[in-house]
Chain A
Amino acid sequence: MRGPMRGPMMPFGRLFQLVAALALLALPAKAAFQIQKVVSPGGIEAWLLEDHRIPLMSLNFTFRGGAALDPAGKEGLAVMTAALLNEGAGSLTATVFQKELADKSIALNYGADFDNFSGSLKALTRYRDRAFDMLALTLTKPRFDPDAVERVRNEMITSIATNIGSPNWIARRTLMETVFAGHPYARPANGTVASVRAIGLADMRQFLKNRFGRDQLLVTAAGDITPAELGASLDRLFGGLPAKAAPFSIPEVSAEAAGKTVTVVRGTPQTIITLAEAGMERKDPDWFAGQIVNYALGGGGFNSRLMEDVRGAGAKKGLSYGFSSALTPYAHSGLMLAGGSTKNATAAEVLDIVKTEFGKVHRDGITEAELRDAKIYISGSFPLSLTSTERLSALLMQLRVNDLGIDYLDRRDGLIDAVTLDDAKRVSQRLLDPAKLTTIMVGQPQGFDKAAEAPAKP
């Protein structure tokens, strides 16, 4: 089954998420959706998709600047601060605050990734006013009670201890440390045991002081709220924040360690193979050419070459439950990723197949039919996920975070249509050089000799 793991008792299915989906989803097509720009009396801007069919609404807000700004030795600061913002605010202790959220079915959550610090709110119309009050309290008067701080700290440490033996987590961490060595993206956004222990109350207060500025704030909403109601709420929610956040800069970085192979030996029955080279940022003018090539190579599930090569029926197949690829953008870098797993005995064989396919597309580009199919899918599948207000609001936030423009939904199909075979070939040459792949293997991979670790055949 595609989609997130539902825990150990989930149904078994034909395919589930193969590469950790750090990627922004390919963005939308046709504007069946009318985006409104709302500006509050106090000058705060929000984008809104109004829909009154269900009595609830979703709100997203993002401050640019995230975990990449954590001080050295205090990794995990942004994530920990986010986790504590709904653990009590104003006169409400954590337990009281959480009970009121639960009793009113208000979803109020914060999170941080490398580049952004974000919050989301979903509330029934009948509780919207109270939900806004509670959100405003978290922004201006978070409590950081010692009990809550220690509970969240322990939760983070427990989660690190849980992850640290997981082969998938090891593959991911090893990859990031290898390709982004020396850059903030190499560090774990969730911190280490030592760094999480080192984070103090003053660090979190200072983090909020630095990051919460209206000049770095982006707001979107969808659902049962009018532009006038939203406009008035914006000042109530965010008007009390400082006009400017502390200035910051993160250096641009390109994937390092081209051609390097790192093997982490674990006693697992399969080898997890993760491959990466330099990818694209979201603002890249060749973004859709990249998406199209990626779809044909490994991003299109059963419509892609890597899946067919390692899983499709016929001689020497059935080697894996699946193999896939993705273009993952960051604010200051991007990765072309591929990954999957196979029994240890066939690790070398699968790696060779995958690198050979990279080589073919790198050399020849994709076919006319692949170009056509990828365009249809990338255009046509856009509205499939937009079936809830929280997804609509999150989509608007992607448009804003990536500076794609309020008319983007009207332009998107045209941008996809305009990609030519030559564009696809140029981008394949740029993104899919098998000699530049960094290879991470976790497990007990077999079938290798020294030569196998050299770059794949062209």
Chain B
Amino acid sequence: MRIVLSAARLCLVLLAFAAAGGARAKVFSPTVTTLSNGLQVVVIENHLAPVVTQMVWYKTGAADEDAGHSGIAHFLEHLMFKGTPTVGPGEFSKIIGRNGGEDNAFTYYDYTAYFQTIKSDRLELIMKLEADRMQNLALTDDQVYPERDVIVEERRQRIDGSPEARLVEALRYALLVNSPYGRPAIGWEQEMEKLTTADAIAWYKKWYVPNNAILIVVGDVKPEDVKALAEKYYGPIPARPVPERARPQIAPLPGAERRITLRDPDIHQPSFSRYYIAPNFSAKTRKEALALEVFDEIFGAGDTGRLYLALTVKTKVATAAGSSYDDTAVDPVAYSIFASPAPGKDIAAVEKGVDAVIESLVKDGVTEAEVTDAKTRLEADAILARDSLDGPAHAIGEALTTGQTIDDVENWPDEIAAVTRDDVNAAMRKVFGKDAVSATGWLLPMQGTKAPMDAVEAANKAPVASGAFR
């Protein structure tokens, strides 16, 4: 059984899309233009089905929020559906649905993106709608404040009601000291509750301009048609200056070991996690990041990685073990490790096992054969990733909103091919070696450091008949 790929891993695979046989192909071979107002337009053809996806990515997200205003980036994302002078509140999604399409949006630390998927003959409709709300959003209190209740409910549903998510929130805050990546992307509840209509309008005016956006169109379309429609609908929107993305840097606090234990009555199965500060795909650390991507394949791949083989196949202290590399970001972020103790095994034994794998790697490094195999896999996964519509759009959008260029994306296969064993070992030792900065999390039941199997078994027998019901 394979461990589910994390977001970061998946993006890596999508980015990998390339290199069929002999000479290494470029990654997406997109058609790229920039309108006179600064809007970057990227088109990728895919004619498998008569369908098109439009995405507009803004280079702003939760990490751009001012202290005290956490949650505003995500709040505005919700409010972008509340109408313009020509499209009523909530009408946007209704129009898409009435045309047989689907739409949604998402916010993360470095970007906010909006997308629609629809029959390809409706491309003009969705471009007209998206361009309209890029410039004409009209917000009123009676629309804004009920939506603020919605985002607070969303936080309750996704964070407060989930011990796993609460531990991740606490670990990021402990590790990413002084960095906006240490705050929750959805915001702190007490700050979300105080966000105002004026805050939302100010955020919109500050960041939502064509020169701060990327339009990505993927599907059964011709690049020249897309360009003409983009000129028609997005072209007239005036550019405005956008502030620098001022980002306080992480204060690493060397030597300060951080450990967080979260106990919760809903937890019966302990789990181990650890986050390390790691380089990102900025120009300065790009080479290290590429080497770490190869390393991640060797170390954390489900069923075949060093961690899985050591912890679940050999010593059998865990039933799952893997890693995730959050590399596509404006600033350095996190490399994370997770593992679940096997029934009857103590979480301390799992941590010891993880440490042993890391120690041996730091001491002896990875092997030449491991590097070759990992690179071969990344290359082949690349072709598999072409078999998708939204994958390429996500990969390009994430790259371009976090300081990379189209050339960076297109040259990725050549750069991966050039990674050497020495590169991998050097990058790995920088993350895990003597200067490592990490935060370790233990998620535990109310008592002890193992799964209480007797209690699990009892609760498992017949939930409906148990005493917990009234």
Residues of chain A having any CB pair with chain B under 8 Å:
1-2, 6-15, 32, 51, 53-56, 83, 94-95, 98-99, 102-105, 107, 109, 122, 124, 126, 147, 150-152, 154-155, 157-158, 160-162, 164-167, 170, 173-174, 177-178, 192-194, 223, 262-270, 300-303, 308, 311-314, 317-321, 341-343, 373, 376-377, 379-384, 386-390
The answer to whether A177 touches B463, judged by C-beta atoms less than 8 angstroms apart, is yes
Q: Are A174 and B463 in contact (CB under 8 A)?
A: yes
Measured CA separation A12–B390 after assembly (Å):
17
Q: A2-B104, A384-B101 are in contact. Are A303 and B94 (CB under 8 A)?
A: yes
Name the residue on B nearest A173 (C-beta): B463
User: Residue A53 contacts which of B48, B324, B464 (CB distance < 8 angstroms)?
Assistant: B48
Q: A192 contacts which chain B residues (CB < 8 A)?
A: 457, 460-461
Partner of B97, one of A107, A158, A301: A301
Which residue in chain A gives the minimum CB-CB distance to B186?
A12
Select one of B265, B376, B464 contacting A177, CB under 8 A. Answer: B464
Q: A residues within 8 A CB of B46?
A: 387
Cβ A13 vs Cβ B106 within 8 A:
yes
Q: Which residues from A are CB-within-8-Å of B460?
A: 160, 164, 192-194
| B203 to A: closest C-beta gap in Å | 15
Q: In the bound complex, how far is the Cα of B143 from the Cα of A213, in angstroms?
A: 59
Lowest 10 A-B CB distances belong to which pairs?
A: A380-B100, A318-B149, A318-B146, A165-B266, A11-B108, A13-B106, A161-B269, A105-B380, A387-B389, A302-B93
Task: Check A390 against B387 for contact (C-beta < 8 Å).
Answer: yes
Q: In the bound complex, what is the Cα–Cα distance between A328 and B21 (angstroms)?
A: 44
A-B contact pairs, 21 of them (CB 8 A): A9-B168, A13-B105, A55-B20, A95-B313, A103-B377, A124-B383, A151-B316, A154-B319, A162-B269, A164-B459, A170-B463, A264-B463, A311-B150, A318-B153, A320-B150, A341-B156, A341-B161, A376-B99, A380-B100, A383-B49, A386-B51
With A83-B1, A103-B376, A343-B153 known as contacts, the answer to whether A12 contacts B107 (CB < 8 A) is yes
Point out the residue from A9, A166, A177 that lies within 8 Å of B266, measured CB to CB.
A166
Q: How far is the CA of A155 from the CA of B143 in the complex (A)?
A: 47
Bound Cα distance from A267 to B266, whole angstroms: 8
Contact, CB under 8 Å: A174 / B464: yes
Q: Is B101 in contact with A158, judged by CB distance below 8 angstroms?
A: no
B388 touches A14 (CB 8 A): no
Known interface pairs A177-B464, A193-B457, A193-B460. Does A158 touch B146 (Cβ–Cβ under 8 Å)? no
A2 to B106, CA, bound (A): 9
**Cα-based distance from A129 to B453 in the complex (angstroms):** 45
Known contacts A104-B380, A173-B463, A377-B100, then 5 further A-B pairs from the complex at CB < 8 Å, ordered by chain A residue: A6-B10, A32-B49, A194-B461, A386-B49, A387-B219
Q: CB-defined interface of B141-169 with A at 8 Å, one 1/0 digit per residue?
A: 01101111110011011101100110010
Contact present for B453 and A193 (CB under 8 Å): yes
Q: Are A265 and B468 in contact (CB under 8 A)?
A: yes
Contact among B100, B146, B158 with A379 in the assembled complex (CB-CB below 8 Å): B100
Give the docked Cα–Cα distance between A263 and B463 (Å): 11
Task: Return chain B residues, CB-CB under 8 Å to A379.
Answer: 100
Tell me whether B81 is interfacial, beta carbon within 8 Å: yes
Indicate if B354 sits at the interface (CB-CB under 8 A): no
Chain B, residues 17-49, CB within 8 Å of chain A (1/0): the string is 000110000000000000000000000001111
* Listed residue (A94, A161, A317, A389) with the most chain B CB atoms within 10 angstroms of its CB: A161
B185 engages A377 (CB within 8 Å): no
A99→B302 CA distance, assembly (Å): 10
Q: For A8, what are the chain B residues with a Cβ–Cβ distance below 8 Å?
A: 164-165, 168
**Separation of A380 and B51 alpha carbons in the complex (Å):** 10
Chain B contacts for A51, CB-based, 8 A: 48
Give the size of the chain B interface in residues (CB under 8 angstroms).
106
Considering only residues 406-447 of chain B, those with a C-beta below 8 Å from chain A are none
Q: Are B49 and A387 in contact (CB under 8 A)?
A: yes
Question: Does B69 sit within 8 A of A, measured CB to CB?
Answer: no
A266 to B99, CA, bound (A): 42
Q: A15-B104, A158-B342, A262-B464 are in contact. Are A302 and B78 (CB under 8 A)?
A: no
B193 at the A interface (CB under 8 A): no
Residues of the B chain whose Cβ atoms lie less than 8 Å from the Cβ of A103: 373, 376-377
B312 neighbours in A (Cβ, 8 Å): 151
Separation of A221 and B105 alpha carbons in the complex (Å): 33
Asked if residues A155 and B1 are in contact (CB atoms below 8 Å), the reply is yes
Q: Is B403 in the interface zone, CB < 8 Å from A?
A: no
Q: Write the residues of chain B forming the contact surface with A, with a CB cutoff of 8 angstroms.
A: 1-2, 4, 6-8, 10, 20-21, 46-51, 74, 77-78, 81-82, 89-90, 93-94, 97-102, 104-108, 117-119, 142-143, 145-150, 153-154, 156-158, 160-161, 164-165, 168, 185-186, 219, 264-269, 271, 301, 303-304, 309, 312-313, 316, 319-320, 324, 326, 340-343, 373, 376-377, 380-381, 383-384, 386-390, 451, 453, 456-457, 459-464, 468-470
B7 engages A56 (CB within 8 Å): no
State how many angstroms separate the Cβ of B72 from the closest Cβ of chain A. Answer: 12
Contact of A161 among B50, B376, B451 (CB under 8 A): B451
Q: Are A105 and B377 in contact (CB under 8 A)?
A: yes
| A14:B320 contact, CB within 8 angstroms | no
Distance in angstroms between the alpha carbons of A318 and B326 in the assembled complex = 33
Contact status B47-A161, CB under 8 Å? no
B49 touches A56 (CB 8 A): no
Instruction: Give the chain B neighbours of A150 by CB distance below 8 A.
Output: 316
Chain B contacts of A314 at CB under 8 A?
Answer: 142, 146
A313 to B145, CA, bound (A): 8
Partner of B383, one of A55, A194, A312, A318: A55
On whether the beta carbons of A167 and B161 are closer than 8 Å, the reply is: yes
| A167 to B266 alpha-carbon distance, docked (Å) | 8
Cβ 8 A contact of A319, one of B153, B165, B456? B153
Q: How far is the CA of A411 from the CA of B21 in the complex (A)?
A: 41
Whether B268 lies near A164 (C-beta < 8 A) is yes
Q: Which residue on B lies nearest to A51, using beta carbons?
A: B48
Q: Judge whether A262 and B469 touch: CB under 8 Å.
A: yes
Chain A residues whose CB sits within 8 angstroms of the CB of B456 once the complex forms: 160-161, 164, 193
Residue of B nearest to A127 (CB): B380
Chain A residues lying within 8 Å of B301, measured Cβ to Cβ, are: 102
Most buried by B among A15, A99, A308, A379: A15
CA distance A11 to B10 in the complex (A): 14
Complex interface: chain B residues within 8 A of A55 (CB) = 20, 383
Known contacts A83-B1, A269-B161, A381-B102; A9/B373 CB under 8 A: no
Q: Which residues of chain A are within 8 angstroms of B153 by Cβ–Cβ distance?
A: 270, 318-321, 341-343
The listed residue (B51, B143, B168) touching A383 by CB distance below 8 A is: B51
Least distance between A351 CB and chain B CB atoms (Å)? 15
CA distance in complex: A166, B24 (Å): 46
Contacts A55-B383, A313-B90; A11 near B82 (Cβ below 8 A): no
Give, as a whole number of angstroms, the nearest-CB distance from A135 to chain B. 16
- Nearest B residue (CB) for A304: B97
Q: Which residue of A lies closest to B304 (CB)?
A: A102
Which chain A positions have C-beta within 8 A of B320?
A: 155, 158
Q: Tell me the bound Cα distance from A312 to B142 in angstroms.
A: 11
**Which of B50, B148, B373, B380 counts the most chain A CB atoms within 10 A?**
B380
Asked if B383 contacts A56 (CB within 8 A), the reply is: yes
B319 touches A158 (CB 8 A): yes
